[in-house]
Chain A
Amino acid sequence: MDIKLQQVSYAYAQGTPFEKRALFDIDFEIPSHTYQAIIGHTGSGKSTILQHFNALLKPTSGEVHIGDRIVVAGKKAKDLKAVRQKVGIVFQFPEHQLFEETVLKDIMFGPMNFGVSEKEAEARARELVGLVSLPEDVLEKSPFDLSGGQMRRVAIAGVLAMEPEVIVLDEPTAGLDPRGQKEIMDMFYKLHQERGLTTILVTHSMEDAARYADNIVIMHEGKNVLRGTPQDIFKDVETLKNLRLEPPRIVRFQQKIEKMINTPFSKICLTEEELATEIARVLREERAES
């Protein structure tokens, strides 16, 4: 399912002295089955943007296309349930949304709201606890007895249980330990590939964006300032610096090596594996020359 933003602007508390513009003429498209990262500092408008992806917020001007639904500024949008089932959002600190007596019931809450039968919802819940690497016996526990990391996984399972076509992640790993972070990001990536999802990752981690995303959008003070593949974006160190952003560690490492041996590499490497292969190639070539 494609998502397209056309000239989208948004202002909080419009028409009062507290009015605050959060988005200015945002224009971009997220094609189906791609992995899109949205990067920006706090206050850059990235959390405001993500609420447009399933019509939790309506633009104050412009249009949002969600699949074949079009949300237009100033028009009443009815029956948004279908949209919300197709676009699942994992909010920041999603563990704050848990409320049921048992983990099982909480995971079933989403799908049952969208008219999935109890039996089917329970089957999905049982399958998903494994997927988010939790032991099956947590299903009968109260979500409030779990650890923070486990609660996070339950909340994520609750969103996945709706079987959305598009999944929007808002800093899904904030506050987790490094191992948990990697596990969760890898799980999302696996799901993205296996189920052909469209994934939108809102983050300030350049590392995650470099590792997983097909495309990156950089937000700065409510404007979309840069757009492109990770290679394009991280090539231009100067522009990033002006936006007070740093390329991922791996790219900075590559740049240091390039400076040290005085040979630019043929491409920008986004993972350790890629960089290792590239270094080996360059070294081999140098040896052949000498």
Chain B
Amino acid sequence: MMEKMIFGRFLPGDSPVHKLDPRSKLIFVFAFIIIVFLANNTVTYALLLAFTLLVVLVSRIRLYFLINGLKPVLFLMAFTFLLHIFMTREGAVVFEWKFITIYEEGLRQGIFISIRFLVLVFMTSILTLTTSPISITDGIEVLLNPLKAVKVPVHELALMMSISLRFIPTLMDETDKIMKAQMARGSDLSSGPIKDRIKAVVPLLVPLFVSAFKRAEDLATAMEVRGYRGGEGRTRYRKLKWDMSDTFALVLLGAMAVLLFFYRS
């Protein structure tokens, strides 16, 4: 089950999108999230969709893989779509059967919202799929650097982020191992009444917490032993490099924003 989830995973590759600087990608996605809300009619939504598909194409991630991995989110999308169809009562009636009436406006809104959802999820997934967690945190740290002036502990936040990202797979593996060990001892998480299933979580959570705390302590010791004392005066091993392609990506997005402005009603 966990194996199929792609949200937050990194898929190494060497497409032009992979090679972009994490800073430009972060700015790109952040700005994209904002300009998505500019779209409000058929032309602009079509533009958004086309633009997103273009990015998917350039990133060389198989569309089938994206859709397959985002099934849980697609379910949410379908749900909002249905809500819109049944709740909006404007425009001409397109379909009527017993107590179900679907209006044109409802259909339109439902499709628009679904597209909005889809492009947002696709774009953010492409960000995490093409950027290693470490470079994302590096990017965030640099982008947030100005906030240091107002005493925001930027370095510490970035460190916390990279540590949590680093330990997600470790904890997932650990969960899997403990789950299997308890299953081998006859504990059953996947069948039986709800009450029993909730009870079966305890043998899973207790060992998981114990090992997580132990790991945290070990890590803290290991960092201290190697002389870590915060971000003051710390140099970087991984240097970020801003290329022509990074500027180009942002210009492209700017052009997209202008187009949306132009065609929106």
In-complex Cβ contact of B184 among A16, A17, A18, A91 (8 A): A91
Chain A residues, Cβ within 8 Å of B148: none
Report the interface size for chain B: residues with CB under 8 A from the other chain. 26
Closest chain B residue to A168, Cβ basis: B184
Given known pairs A17-B65, A91-B180, A99-B202, the reply for A110 and B207 (CB within 8 Å) is no
Q: Which 9 A-B pairs have the closest CB atoms?
A: A113-B186, A99-B206, A97-B181, A110-B185, A13-B3, A89-B184, A99-B203, A114-B186, A91-B181
Chain A residues, Cβ within 8 Å of B182: 97
Where the two chains meet, the residues of B that have a C-beta atom closer than 8 Å to any C-beta of A are: 3-4, 6, 11, 62, 65, 68-69, 174, 177-178, 180-188, 202-203, 206-207, 210-211
Bound together, the chains give a CA A158 to CA B184 distance in angstroms of: 11
Extra 17 A-B pairs, beta carbons < 8 Å, given A84-B186, A96-B174, A113-B186: A12-B3, A13-B3, A16-B3, A88-B184, A91-B180, A96-B207, A97-B203, A97-B207, A99-B202, A99-B203, A109-B185, A109-B187, A110-B186, A158-B185, A159-B184, A159-B185, A162-B185
Closest chain B residue to A155, Cβ basis: B181
Chain A residues, Cβ within 8 Å of B210: 144
Given known pairs A84-B184, A113-B186, A158-B185, the reply for A99 and B3 (CB within 8 Å) is no
Bound together, the chains give a CA A54 to CA B185 distance in angstroms of: 11
Chain A residues, Cβ within 8 Å of B178: 96-97
* Contact status A91-B177, CB under 8 Å: yes
The A interface, classified by DSSP as helix, strand, loop or mixed, is mixed
Bound together, the chains give a CA A94 to CA B207 distance in angstroms of: 11
Report the interface size for chain A: residues with CB under 8 A from the other chain. 27
Bound together, the chains give a CA A99 to CA B200 distance in angstroms of: 11
* B-contact bits for A225-239, CB 8 A (1 contact / 0 none): 000000000000000
CB-contacts of A186-241 with B (<8 A): none
Bound together, the chains give a CA A99 to CA B187 distance in angstroms of: 13
Closest-CB distance, B193 to chain A (whole angstroms):
15
Given known pairs A94-B181, A97-B178, A113-B186, the reply for A16 and B207 (CB within 8 Å) is no
* B-contact bits for A81-99, CB 8 A (1 contact / 0 none): 1001100110100101111
Bound together, the chains give a CA A159 to CA B207 distance in angstroms of: 16
Given known pairs A56-B184, A91-B181, the reply for A99 and B207 (CB within 8 Å) is yes
A51 within 8 A of B: yes
Closest chain A residue to B61, Cβ basis: A17
CB-contacts of A37-83 with B (<8 A): 51, 54, 56, 81
